[in-house]
Structure 1
Amino acid sequence: MGIHDDLSEFLTSRRAKLTLADVELPDFGGRRRVPGLRREEVALLAGMSAEYYKRLERGNAAGVSEAVIDGVSRALRLDEAEYAHLTDLVRAANAGTHPKRRRTTRTHHLTSGMQQTIDAMSTVPVFIQNGRLDFVAANRLGRALFSEMLDDAPAPANAARFVFLDPRAQSFYQDWEGNTRQIVAILRAEAGRSPYDRQLSDLVGELSTRSDLFRRLWGAHDVREHRTGVKSIHHPVVGDLDLTFQSMDLATDRGLQMLVFSAEPGSASHDRLQLLANWATTANTVTSDAIPADPLR
């Protein structure tokens, strides 16, 4: 499926979610052959001709301006993440006619200075990932928190593979179903930003083949930003944890996202997070002690 199809299906899916009451249009009755709004109704709300909007919904983004995107976004009641996704799809649809503009998969490496920085953040778990949700780096507590996903996983460990293909994920995430929707929505947004990322396409293909749930959620075309929220997990060592997370894009390592987790002071989760930090330090010390000293030193 190409980027023009993605644009078409995204607009169709957003239109299907709206009713006449949602957009304050009169309902004159009669049978409606499609769910949600008709194309003509979206065009009316967006302030453009029905033929122009039909062309856009068929994936023809030639000449689409920012004003058109704004009008369609208002008509479809798009949120911030959906607006950004529509902009990315329009840009990619136009760039698709110029092969030289196509972007290829980027390999991300964390700078030594950034690794040193997150290692110094010893009281909170820090986890760094790319747009495909591949694991890139973590501090010691971050590795301990996500040991279920990172241990024994082929490189690169990937959050989407873990959630959809590893049975342990269903007990690790207390709201596993909510996490499946969030993962797919994040990958959808990344697919709009990086439509020619071969590794992302391969990941989506693999998950679509191996998971019926992923395939169904992918077809919904939902998108979401991953900026802040609460993760409720069941860690195999310390038990239940309710952690607030904050997500930040790394200006020094473009394409990477840093997630920092914390627990409310005085809460059971805070105590258990401290217990996990102690366990991680002890486990690391035992591992280091088990390594024979270099006889040449």
Structure 2
Amino acid sequence: MNNQDDLSAFLISRRAKLDLQQAGLPDFGGRRRVPGLRREEVALLAGMSSEYYKRLERGNAKGVSEAVIDGISRALQLDEAEHSHLYDLIRAANAGAHLQRRRPTRKTQITPTLQQTIDAMTTVPVFVQNGRLDAVATNTLGRALFSEMFLDPSQPVNAARFVFLDPRAQTFFQDWESNTRQIVALLRVEAGRSPYDRQLSDLIGELSTRSDLFRKLWGAHDVREHRTGTKSIHHPIVGNLDLSYLGLDLASDHGLQMLVFSAEPASASYEGLQLLGNWATTHNPMLHADNPRPAEQK
């Protein structure tokens, strides 16, 4: 991943999404050769010279201050996730070789204390992942909920690889297309945060080579955070489940996020989770990645 190219492409993609009316600028007519705003218009809105902004959009991030980042974020109407991503891209492009020497790593396991804690959460599925979307840990119900994902013999089990490369994902996620966009947006955030993560680069390379859809979505440079939302899935054991999730960053394990799923009380999905919990307790030895797919209930 080229830091300067990523910065340039991200700024161009955000500029292309805004028109004059959205930006509050007058439209004097005439032909516009580029979609969205021109560089000069972004510079005007950000309160900087056109030449300065042009250098930045070419990937030259030397000496960029937080005030400049804030100005560009306002001009391009970036949301919180996009603003943080821009900061990461500028930091990476500006630091360059210094960051390359540091080469941050992402955890692939949790502490025994944390595992004990999530195991005690018996009524809700829990799924712990790192920024690459590797499955780092689950509780029993979490493993049962995502049992389709754990059928993949590749290690580590990865949510992005499942969504884009495993045909089962298109049945498992009822809104599969929405999940593909979410996955790519999350990986974009991680790529800006950890530009020299070799395993992340390898994953993106694999997905780009094997999935035309991933390659297309990756080129859009969209980003988002994974804080709260809903998942509608079709589970092979208990059928359709509409679940809410909450994403919690783990302060004690930097770089890991714990996803906790729940269903509305007294709903069909709530009953489905209870059935899945009973099944998981009975079939617990089968909930390991090296075992074959569990048989569906009669």
CA distance 1:124–1:287, shift in 2 (3 Å): closer
Query: Where does the alignment leave 5 or more consecutive residues of structure 2 unmatched?
Result: 289-298
Is the contact between residue 108 and residue 255 of structure 1 (CA under 8 Å) also seen in structure 2?
Answer: no
Residues 279-288 or 108-117, more deviating: 279-288
User: Does 1:194 find its partner at 2:194?
Assistant: yes
Map of 2:206 onto structure 1: 206
Aligned length: 288
Structural mapping, 1:1-297, within 5 Å:
1-98=1-98, 101-284=101-284
Is the contact between residue 243 and residue 261 of structure 2 (CA under 8 Å) also seen in structure 1?
Answer: yes
Give the Cα–Cα distance (whole angstroms) in 2 for the partners of residues 287 and 98 of structure 1: 43
Give the Cα–Cα distance (whole angstroms) in 2 for the partners of residues 272 and 29 of structure 1: 58
Is the contact between residue 15 and residue 36 of structure 1 (CA under 8 Å) also seen in structure 2?
Answer: yes
Aligned-partner SS, 1:247 = strand
Q: CA-to-partner distance for each residue in 1:41-88, whole Å, 9 max, x for gaps?
A: 000000000000000000000010000000000000000000000000
Is the contact between residue 264 and residue 270 of structure 1 (CA under 8 Å) also seen in structure 2?
Answer: yes
Q: What is the TM-score of this pair, normalised by structure 1? A: 0.94
For the aligned residue pairs, the C-alpha RMSD in angstroms reads 1.4
Is the contact between residue 107 and residue 256 of structure 2 (CA under 8 Å) also seen in structure 1?
Answer: no
Q: Could you tell me how far 1:226 is from its partner in structure 2?
A: 0.5
Amino acid at match of 1:38: R
Aligned-partner SS, 2:136 = strand
Q: Could you tell me how far 1:286 is from its partner in structure 2?
A: 8.0
Is the contact between residue 147 and residue 287 of structure 2 (CA under 8 Å) also seen in structure 1?
Answer: no
Is the contact between residue 106 and residue 130 of structure 2 (CA under 8 Å) also seen in structure 1?
Answer: no
Is the contact between residue 160 and residue 183 of structure 1 (CA under 8 Å) also seen in structure 2?
Answer: yes
Q: Could you tell me how far 1:100 is from its partner in structure 2?
A: 6.0
Amino acid at match of 2:239: G
Amino acid at match of 1:224: R
Query: Where does the alignment leave 5 or more consecutive residues of structure 1 unmatched?
Result: 289-297
Q: CA-to-partner distance for each residue in 1:8-40, whole Å, 9 max, x for gaps?
A: 000000000000000110000111010000000
Q: What is the TM-score of this pair, normalised by structure 2? A: 0.94
Q: CA-to-partner distance for each residue in 1:200-226, whole Å, 9 max, x for gaps?
A: 000000000000000000000000000
Amino acid at match of 1:228: T
Give the Cα–Cα distance (whole angstroms) in 1 for the partners of residues 3 and 209 of structure 2: 20
Is the contact between residue 170 and residue 176 of structure 2 (CA under 8 Å) also seen in structure 1?
Answer: yes
Q: Could you tell me how far 1:99 is from its partner in structure 2?
A: 5.5
Map of 2:293 onto structure 1: none
Is the contact between residue 95 and residue 102 of structure 1 (CA under 8 Å) also seen in structure 2?
Answer: no
Give the Cα–Cα distance (whole angstroms) in 2 for the partners of residues 190 and 228 of structure 1: 18
Aligned-residue sequence identity (percent) comes to 77
